[in-house]
Structure formats: structure tokens, C-alpha cells
Structure 1
Amino acid sequence: MTSFQPESPSDGEAVLLLRLAGPVQAWGTRSAFNRRETGAEPTKSGVIGLLAAAAGLAREDPLDELLPLRLGIRVDQPGTLLRDYHTVSDYRGRPLPQAGVTAKGIQKPTSPVKLTHITTRYYLQDAIFLAAVAGPYGLLNTLDQAVRAPAFPLALGRRSCPPTQPVSLGLREATLEDALREERWQVSRQSGEQFAAQLGRDRQLDRPLYPARIDRSATLEDPDGDDVLHDAPVSFDPHLRTFTSRRVRHTWLSIPTSFPNPDDTTNGSDDEAGHDPFALLGW
């Protein structure tokens, strides 16, 4: 287990930026045995769990130093929803157990006998998020090093969802919102070219249009926020998994695209091009 470096009063605060991208991600806020859902963006429990794994914390270890960290999520590429079909059976050919148990606490077999059970799992495919974690500089510096050389494998919500590299983009001395606003768009060159080509067609041009900045949606942890999410972890102990609520606010941020030769725009931000209110719905 990693020992976090204690921060001194002069350390101040910083923001650790994490690029959360991979073939598939799954950020569930509720699940049942036969249905595992995913939210549209990373949860605080998922991000804290990733940091805890990187630092080498066991599930039973307290999260006291990680719980006060504040989280912001920027949606750089919303991805699309993937439904994965699963079947479950006993390799010995025995009937599957049911939820009910006997007086001795042993699960009863299904009646009538059921040898195969269907489960459904949902994932986000080809999604890219920028996560900003705000807190004491000393603690975040330790977590930054841990993410770069993790004690346990990192996952994007579920263990079957490994991230692409790099995950850590380093520390920034800025507010949570400013760090998300000023970091460049994290999509691939191919996705950026496709966006520019579509933008040119939308503007009825005979060429791609490369804006200097575009708008992207973000969710920021804010004690005065007007929305509540029940995804803040208290304990990952398998026998005592506990979560609590946190307040957030949703906004749009104008971010740099980093195209090599961006087209000039009237106000330095191509708001009309980048602000798509239906983007998260996949429309």
C-alpha cells in the first residue's frame, strides 16, 4: 500500500488531470445481477477507485485522504452505448441457484430447473473524458506518480475496461473549472478531422472548417450546485460498500482544439459550431 506524502501548509492546491479513454468504459450507479448499466460519464466512485488502485489501497482500507478530493468531468467524446449479451451457466451442468435460501443459508435450486441465465451489460464505446481532481498539491503529486506506475491494474469503471495511455496528464495550478477549460481537446487526429469535415459541410463550405475553440459539456463538483449525484464513495469494503451524495453543476466550456492552423473566428470561440445540446444523446 502506498503511503501518501503529507502536504505542508505552503503546498496549496492543485488539479490532477486524467484522460479517461479506452475501447469500452462502464460507469454504473446502480446494478442488478442480470443488468449492469452505465452512466453517460465517469462517476466519482469510479475515479476515486482508479486512484485507490493506482496507490495500492486494498478494498478494506479507509479512503479518508481521498474522500475530500473534488471532481470535474469534461465530455470530449461522448461515445455510443453498447449492449453486451451474456449467458451464465454452471460448468458442472447443475441447475442454477435462485435468490431464495434455505434455513441453513444455502441457495435453493431454481424450480423449474434453469440451466442458463441471461444477463445484460452496457458499456460506452469510443468515449473520451477529461477528469480533473482538485485537492492538496502534495497528495495529488503522489497520486500522479501512482497513476504513472500503478500498484494494481487501472480500469475505467469495471475491471474488463482497461484505459489507453496516457492516463495522467499531470498537475495544473488552476481552479477545477479553469483546468478543464484550458486543456486541449483530447480526441484523436482522425476524430478531429472528421469533426472539421462535418463542420465544413454544415456551414456549406467546400472544405473542412477548423475552429480554434469549441464548446464541450462539463460536470463540476460544487457545494452550491443545483443537481445531486449519489456516487461519492465512503467505503469500498465488499462487506460494507457505502456511498453518499454530492452537489454538482452542469455547464459548457469553451476549450482549445489545437488544430495546426485553426480558422479565425469572430470571438475566438466557434460557439455555434461546438455547442451541440443533443451531443450527449448521440443525435
Structure 2
Amino acid sequence: MTVLLLRLAAPLQSWGVASRFARRSTQHFPSKSGVLGLISAARGQRRTDPIEDALLGLAFGVRIDQPGALVRDFHTATSRDGRTRYPLSERFYLSDAIFVAAIEGDHALLEGIQSQLLRPVFPLYLGRRSCPVTEPLVLGDVREGTMPDVLQDTSNWQAAQHHRRKQPTVLHLPIFRDTTTADTPNTFTERVRDLPVSFDPERREYGWRTIITEHAPVRNPQGHNRTHDPMSAFGGS
């Protein structure tokens, strides 16, 4: 199989999978529906268009290279004439986060997606329209391999220098990915509801998918060797 890697980075990102009414939360890693929506926008598909089976069939996984910080914003809105004031809402974002997303599928399909992401038809954003992407979005060419193996390769760790200096010399990057036929039956899995059925604003629908949580070890030469000693506060030697 072949894999295309994407670098999802921006001052703000928001990946809502359970937003309701006045509280718009964000998941701590990118959703499959959000990334497929990004690809659909690059291809020129409108929200009312049906989602292609080829896109839904892509295996998807994401690695947290830099988790960022949770930011809460109070959002107000009024009608154009100023006579109607809408309810105050809370919107949550991830600030200064960097993720590596991997999509696995047919080589020709991934090459087409790569080309479309580099020359998108519609503007691209990370979860919400207020979160435009930061370049580079595409990390190199389509490569041979499987999505789980490519995400385990940390030679392309995308964390910023200021983040690396705050981390230990060895750390483990969380990975959240689709299950594959190679996974053993006793592997721990969980269900998330972020598989898009329809992006139509009048009838948005999402299905369930099964994911696995893993970790990719990475060596950090710029990190520190400090360890936390909980007994030091009591004057222990």
C-alpha cells in the first residue's frame, strides 16, 4: 500500500466531534471527518455533494507531535440590523498544536489528492473556517508502506524547537489510528463518531469507526534529563 502524510499546523485548530448548541468543544487530535472535509474542499466538492466511497475507504491515522494548549473563546453575534442578539457561546480551540496525519490508499488516488491539496479549489482550514492551514501541508511525495508503520517513523518529527527544549530526551508520541487486518484480536480499541456520512449543513451525519491508540518513541537531543521527585518538597535527600 501507499501513504500520504499531512502536517496539520496552525495558530488555532478545532476538531469538534460532540459540539452542541452554545458549547463548541474540540477533540485533542484531528478527526477523520475533518481531514476528509479538508480533502473534499481541495477537490472542489461542495458540502451538499455526496462523499465519494474512495475517500471513505482511506485508512486514517494521526500522530500528536506537539499537543498545544486548549483555548476557550467567548463568541457573541447579533443580526445585521443590531436588533437581535444571539446567545453567548463558548468555542474551544487547540493553540500551537502540530499533528502528522497519514492516509493510506491507492497510489493513483493519493497522488491526485496530493496535487489537489497543493492547488486547492476552496480555502483549506483545520476544523473551522477561522483556522486556516499553515504551510507546508503536504509532507513530501506519496510513499510506500502502511499507515501504522509510517506513523511509527519519527524521523520526520514536526515539533517546534521551543517545544523540544521543554521535553525529556526520550518521549512517546501518541498515535490514534484506524484498525487494520494486521491488528491482533485482543488489541484494545475504542469507538469514535467521526466518520462522515453527509456534510450537508441541513442534514449532517456521522458514523462510528474503531480506532487503536499507540505510541511512537522519539529521541530528543535538545531535551532535558530532569526527573520529577515528588518527595523533594518534604526535604528528602
Which TM-score band applies after superposition, normalised by the shorter structure? 0.7 to 0.9
Contact 1:21–1:128 at 8 Å: present in 2 too?
A: yes
Residue aligned with 1:73, SS:
strand
Which has the larger Rg? 1
Classify 1:187/1:61 alpha carbon distance in 2 versus 1 (closer, same or farther; 3 Å). Answer: same
Contact 2:153–2:216 at 8 Å: present in 1 too?
A: no
Classify 1:138/1:229 alpha carbon distance in 2 versus 1 (closer, same or farther; 3 Å). Answer: same
Deviation at 1:226, TM superposition (A): 1.6
Opposite residue 139 of structure 1, the aligned amino acid is L
Counterpart position of 2:8: 20
- Name the TM-score, length of structure 1 as normaliser: 0.71
Q: Deviations over 1:13-44 (max 9, x none)?
A: 21110000110000001223321110111000
| Equivalent position to 1:254, from 208, 217, 221 | 217
Q: Does 1:55 align with 2:43?
A: yes
Deviation at 1:55, TM superposition (A): 1.2
Deviation at 1:243, TM superposition (A): 1.1
Counterpart position of 1:187: 159
Counterpart position of 1:3: none
Counterpart position of 1:176: 147
Deviation at 1:238, TM superposition (A): 2.1
Number of matched pairs: 218
Opposite residue 148 of structure 1, the aligned amino acid is L
Identity %: 41
Counterpart position of 1:92: 81
| Equivalent position to 2:127, from 157, 160, 165 | 157
Deviation at 1:256, TM superposition (A): 5.7
Q: Deviations over 1:203-245 (max 9, x none)?
A: xxxxxxxx4x642110110056621111001121223322111
Opposite residue 177 of structure 1, the aligned amino acid is P
Opposite residue 231 of structure 1, the aligned amino acid is D
Counterpart position of 1:226: 189
CA RMSD between the two structures: 2.3
Structure 2, unmatched stretches of 5+, are 228-237
Classify 1:71/1:256 alpha carbon distance in 2 versus 1 (closer, same or farther; 3 Å). Answer: farther
Classify 1:180/1:256 alpha carbon distance in 2 versus 1 (closer, same or farther; 3 Å). Answer: farther
Following superposition of structure 1 onto structure 2, how do residues 117-128 of structure 1 map, counting pairs within 5 Å? Answer: 117-128=87-98
Residue aligned with 1:168, SS:
coil
Classify 1:152/1:256 alpha carbon distance in 2 versus 1 (closer, same or farther; 3 Å). Answer: farther
Counterpart position of 2:28: 40
Counterpart position of 1:136: 106
Structure 1, unmatched stretches of 5+, are 1-12, 97-114, 200-210, 264-269, 274-283
Q: Deviations over 1:53-79 (max 9, x none)?
A: 111111122222211111111011111
Opposite residue 77 of structure 2, the aligned amino acid is V
Distance 2:123 2:67 in 1: 24
